[in-house]
Amino acid sequence: MGGQVSASNSFSRLRCRNANEDWMSALCPRLWDVPLHHLSIPGSHDTMTYCLNKKSPISHEESRLLQLLNKAFPCITRPVVLKWSVTQALDVTEQLDAGVRYLDLRIAHMLEGSEKNLHFVHMVYTTALVEDTLTEISEWLEQHPREVVILACRNFEGLSEDLHEYLVACIKNIFGDMLCPRGEVPTLRQLWSRGQQVIVSYEDESSLGRHHELWPGVPYWWGNRVKTEALIRYLETMKSCGRPGGLFVAGINLTENLQYVLAHPSESLEKMTLPNLPRLSAWVREQRPGPGSRCTNIIAGDFIGADSFVSDVIALNQKLLWC
């Protein structure tokens, strides 16, 4: 599988996981009364792509040209697509251990799949099943009762209304009383007092109308840029327009385009991303959480174990104590 961070990062990554495993409960008590949308929260972009492999089918929503190339030259097409689909090297438990508290879950139903088996998707379908992954997250939360996660359920490729109802039923059954019903964005102290650890953002309007446990989709500032400086300019432009009123994400993930892929046939999303992480991390360290119009909230990135990204995002919360 692609997307592996270098061995030189393994020890520092392990230390990062241990240090940040329970970072929310370790915050200064003054921050326990700050609403989640005013805190600085690390997230992972396309959380589930670590489990893609060469046998993973290409999404039916990809271009007709890509579908034809896959049928004609699968031994060439699939490895290339895979190189540009993998955005994470750590599995979901490792991401949670590392301190990630926003998970970007792109959910899909494969046409050739069984009736109720839901997968994740990013150009290709994952091997992991949604129900198994949600159970893994729930089990992690049981071991970390004062940590809170935001699950952004989106994409919903191939989901009928019945499959939406099935997915929501799975969410309710797996998380139960851990779910925080929608309303005003809570503080950590409020969530702890209720035994709630999960906010589910769900980008399907009809499902929102039927289930008060679901929150509207969390806005994601996606720059869709190949170059780091262009992405930073986009994020600064979005900040100048004012932050959304609730939870929102600033994505520091670079995005390839066809021109870039054709010009760099031996590269991958990992090779494009890793050299740019120091500049992106420098931008992260300049941010400030809080209610101000230019403040950030959730910051999500690719290959989150490859540098100090998670610790940098968490450290921004200290700026709230300077006020």
Pick from 98, 187, 198, 181: which is nearest to 145 by CA?
198
Question: CB-based burial of residue 315 (10 Å sphere; 0-12 exposed, 13-18 middle, 19+ buried)?
Answer: middle
CB 248 within 8 A of CB 37: yes
Question: CB-based burial of residue 24 (10 Å sphere; 0-12 exposed, 13-18 middle, 19+ buried)?
Answer: buried
DSSP 8-state assignment for residue 305: T
Q: Which residues contact 60 (CB under 8 A, 6 or more apart)?
A: 67, 110, 111, 157, 158
CB 107 within 8 A of CB 132: no
Q: How far is CA 134 from CA 43, 138, 167, 174, 181, in A?
A: 16, 6, 10, 7, 17
Largest CA distance in the chain: 61
Q: How many residues does the chain have?
A: 323
Active site residues: 45, 122
Q: How far is CA 274 from CA 90, 156, 182, 226, in A?
A: 15, 29, 37, 13
